[in-house]
Amino acid sequence: MRISVQEAVFDPGAELSGFGAGRADVGGVVSFTGLVRDDTGTLEALEIEHYPGMTERAITAMVEEAISRWELADALVIHRYGRLDVGAPIMMVATAARHRVAAFEAAEFLMDYLKSRAPFWKKEVTRAGESWVAAKDADEEALKRW
Amino acid sequence: MVDLLYFAWLRERVGVARESVETSAVSVADLVEELKARDPRYAAAFADTSVVRVALDQDLADFSAPLAGVKEIAFFPPMTGG
């Protein structure tokens, strides 16, 4: 597994190249990349704060759980912090498994947990000012299915 | 002494990212009451604890959790990763 909490931009294609490759027990790879979206046309940037130390610890725990629950051959989580421009990649998850269902489910599990249990906080910077993004009840609800 | 850490709007309301305090509080809830009585900045930050999460030594915890042996207490809003 690989976990990276970083400020630097990453290339999702390059990260995926070689992931889960060259092994006989991998039947499929699923990946998700989150990008900075601008719903209002006024977003200048997203500022992401995190809790160094706890962030890595929390992500490691969720990745280890995903690996054991879905018998993953490999897992990758990259999550950025700092100031991100519109359209920039924020984070990515990749899972490699023997079968498709396991790879998809494990990726969704990781996405749901990263949203609500990894200590990141997003602030939207617009021309009108700055505001912290509020957590959604639906994101907390989503954890219940796991 | 314990280290208190604040993130996102809690950090902005309290005015510092980290501080060391001397406390005899036995639980997180006790500590919050102690802080609120100390200064209006804390009263503003902890006005609605339903939107405050706490981690003890980097593990999520409840407000009823005991503080014995804890070195680092972090307060923050519900997380918005992903």
- Tokens standing for A38? 């601008």
* Residue ranges making up the domain that contains A97: 2-145
Residue A52's CB is within 10 A of a number of other CB atoms, namely 10
pLDDT digits (tens, 9 = 90+) for B29-71: 999 999 999 999 999 999 999 999 999 999 999 999 999 999 9
> A126 — phi, psi (to 5°)?
-120, 175
A2 — pLDDT class (breaks 50, 70, 90) = very high
Chain B: closest CA distance from residue A53 (Å): 7
Quick one: pLDDT at residue A51? 98
Quick one: pLDDT at residue A58? 98
ipTM score over 0.90, yes or no: yes
Closest CA to B22 of B74, B62, B67: B67
- Decide: A29 and A95 in contact? Cβ < 8 Å: yes
Please name the helix (run of DSSP H) or strand (run of DSSP E) that holds residue B74, with its range, or none: strand B72-76
Q: How far is CA B60 from CA A136, B12, B71, in A?
A: 19, 21, 14
pLDDT average, residue stretch A2-23: 96
* Residue ranges making up the domain that contains B57: 2-76
A142 — pLDDT class (breaks 50, 70, 90) = very high
CATH code assigned at B33: 3.10.20.30
- In this structure, chain B runs to a length of 82
Quick one: pLDDT at residue B1? 92
Please name the helix (run of DSSP H) or strand (run of DSSP E) that holds residue B21, with its range, or none: strand B18-21
Question: Has residue B6 been placed in a domain?
Answer: yes
Question: Has residue B38 been placed in a domain?
Answer: yes
Q: CA A115, CA B42: separation in Å to the nearest integer?
A: 27
A83 — pLDDT class (breaks 50, 70, 90) = very high
- Tokens standing for A109? 């599990």
Q: Which of A53, A57, A119 sits opposite B79 (nearest CB)?
A: A119
| Binding-site residues on chain A for chain B (CB distance < 8 A) | 34, 49, 51, 53-54, 57-58, 79, 90-91, 111, 114-123, 132-135, 140
Question: Has residue B81 been placed in a domain?
Answer: no
pLDDT average, residue stretch A97-109: 98
A134 — pLDDT class (breaks 50, 70, 90) = very high
CATH code assigned at A69: 3.90.1170.40
* Pairing of β B72-76 and β B2-6: parallel
Question: Has residue B82 been placed in a domain?
Answer: no
- Decide: A43 and A117 in contact? Cβ < 8 Å: no
Identity at B52, one-letter amino acid code: V
Quick one: pLDDT at residue A61? 98
Q: Which of A51, A112, A137 to mutate to test the interface with B (most CBs of B within 10 A)?
A: A51
B8/A135 Cβ within 8 A: no
- Chain A hits for B10, Cβ within 8 Å: none
Q: To the nearest whole number, what is the mean pLDDT of chain B?
A: 97
Number of folded domains in chain A? 1
Identity at A15, one-letter amino acid code: E
Q: CA B32, CA B21: separation in Å to the nearest integer?
A: 12
Number of folded domains in chain B? 1
pLDDT digits (tens, 9 = 90+) for A49-78: 999 999 999 999 999 999 999 999 999 999
